[in-house]
Structure 1
Amino acid sequence: MSSYRDLDIYKIGLELFYIVHPASLKLPKYEMYELGSQLRRSSDSLVTNIVEGYGRKAYKAEFIRFLTFSWSSCLETVNHLEKINHLYKNIIPNNEELIVRYNELSSKIFNFIKYVEQNWKT
């Protein structure tokens, strides 16, 4: 792997970010800067922490630390999507599918963290 762009977790996270960001703008105006902002920030943080961690990959513990931040942002994103699904059922099209995809991504990030812990050479 020559770049963070080669990581499946990065590719999937970025693809989902490009879906979630504009979808979050469909929330009611009073949620735009509350729940909508939190959703946008957590979905962005997921991807950004992969990039920043990769930039520190020479230091295994730092790489794992940022991957863990990414994983927790993924879990946070799922939580925001679940709240939106409950409060505003039909505002975000395919919201339930997004939840499934983020849960799958969460598993992939977790597995990648385990891989790095066991196999990464510094």
Structure 2
Amino acid sequence: MTKKQKSCFFLILKIVKNLPKEYRYELGSQIIRSTFSIILNIAEGSGKASDKELNRFIEIALGSVNETLAGVDVLKDNGFIMNNEFSEVYQKLDSISSQLGGFKKQLDK
């Protein structure tokens, strides 16, 4: 599962690197942290003993997907990234969200 998340993380790093300096720390750092949180919560959850515990970390990862998307949307709305960059991030996050959502449904059974 981590290949998709890592690919998204590296894309976010590239985008943040190109932000104007005055936005790189506050906004860029927050988006990097939320994207990294997706990877870390999946990793931490996969080491838990119960499906209930794993499910909680999947929920947190899904929240981080939404947080990342909201941050990237703000970048797009302010002209810091192009529509094609936004679309690429959106597609990656949508795929991750679908995968996590499907996994969560299996755990909820």
Partner in structure 2 of residue 33 of structure 1: 25
Partner in structure 2 of residue 12 of structure 1: 4
Aligned pair count?
A: 109
Q: Matches of residues 54-73 of structure 1 in structure 2 within 5 Å?
A: 54-56=46-48, 58-73=49-64
Residue deviations 1:79-104 (CA, integer Å, cap 9, x gap):
11111011124469622221122122
Q: Are 2:65 and 1:74 equivalent residues in the alignment? A: yes
Report percent identity of matched pairs: 28
Q: CA distance change for structure 1 residues 24 and 89 in 2, over 3 Å: closer, same or farther?
A: closer
Structure 1: 5+ residue runs without aligned partners? 1-7
Structure 2: 5+ residue runs without aligned partners? none
Partner in structure 2 of residue 43 of structure 1: 35
Structure 1-normalised TM-score? Answer: 0.81
CA distance in 2, matches of 1:50, 1:42: 13
Runs of 4+ in 1 over 4 A off after TM superposition: none
**In angstroms, what is the RMSD of aligned CA positions?**
1.7
Structure 2-normalised TM-score? Answer: 0.89
Question: Of 82, 105, 112, which residue of structure 1 is paired with 2:96?
Answer: 105
- Write the letter of the residue equivalent to 1:117: D
> Computing the radius of gyration over CA atoms, which structure comes out larger, 1 or 2?
1
Residue deviations 1:8-66 (CA, integer Å, cap 9, x gap):
3x22111111111122121111111111011100000001000000011x222110001
